[in-house]
């Protein structure tokens, strides 16, 4: 079974977590085994990253940038993949999602930074504040789309 990681930061209201849960649902519907990790609860163990076949990255917009926990992930990822030249850190399909308070400039930061991990699937899912039903459905569909890239056709 393909393994999917949903790596996100959510702290202020839980807006990004709601999106993460919806994406995880779509990934499960595609047949993936899903691990979800909120970087507000600790530092993601970067050495486990090669286990995952695909990833969804989610962040709130913090000062037009990604949240610190996800920046730490990217720093750790760079050290493993580029400095230590470890295998299994790149070439993965990934999807992006973000929530914001009316700005949303984090979108372009995410599109640029996460390129290091592999190939982006679909378009980033966005929420202004708390995600409504339509946004959550878009997130679930993005999860399904990401999952389909790593699951054999049934």
Window of 42-50, 101-109, 115-123, 142-150 that interacts with ligand FMN by CB under 6 A: 101-109
Task: Please give the size of the binding site for ligand FMN, defined by CB under 6 A.
Answer: 20
Asked if 135 interacts with ligand FMN (CB under 6 A), we say no
| Shortest CB 12 distance to ligand FMN, Å | 3
> Which 3-state string (H, E, C) describes the chain?
CCEEEEEECCCCCCHHHHHHHHHHHHHHHCCCEEEEEEHHHCCCCHHHHHHCCEEEEEEECECCECCHHHHHHHHHHHHHHHHCCCCCCCCEEEEEEEEECCCCCHHHHHHHHHHHHEEECCCCEEEECCCCHHHHHHHHHHHHHHHHHHCCCC
Instruction: Kindly tell me which residue out of 29, 36, 50, 62 binds ligand FMN, with binding defined by CB under 6 A.
Output: 62
Q: By the criterion CB under 6 A, which residues form the site for ligand FMN?
A: 10-17, 60-64, 99-104, 129
């Amino acid at each position: 079974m393909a393994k999917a990681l949903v790596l996100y930061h959510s702290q202020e209201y839980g807006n990004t977590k709601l999106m993460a849960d919806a994406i995880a649902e779509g990934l499960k519907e595609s047949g993936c085994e899903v691990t979800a990790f909120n970087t507000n609860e600790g530092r993601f163990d970067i050495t486990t990253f090669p286990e995952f076949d695909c990833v969804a990255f989610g962040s709130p917009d913090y000062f037009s940038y990604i949240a610190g926990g996800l920046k730490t992930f990217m720093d750790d990822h760079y050290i493993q993949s580029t400095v230590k030249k470890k295998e299994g850190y790149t070439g993965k399909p990934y999807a992006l999602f973000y929530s914001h308070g009316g700005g949303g400039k984090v979108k372009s930061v995410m599109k640029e930074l996460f390129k290091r991990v592999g190939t982006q699937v679909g378009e980033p899912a966005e929420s202004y504040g708390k995600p409504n039903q339509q946004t959550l459905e878009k997130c679930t569909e993005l999860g399904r789309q990401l999952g389909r890239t790593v699951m054999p056709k049934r």
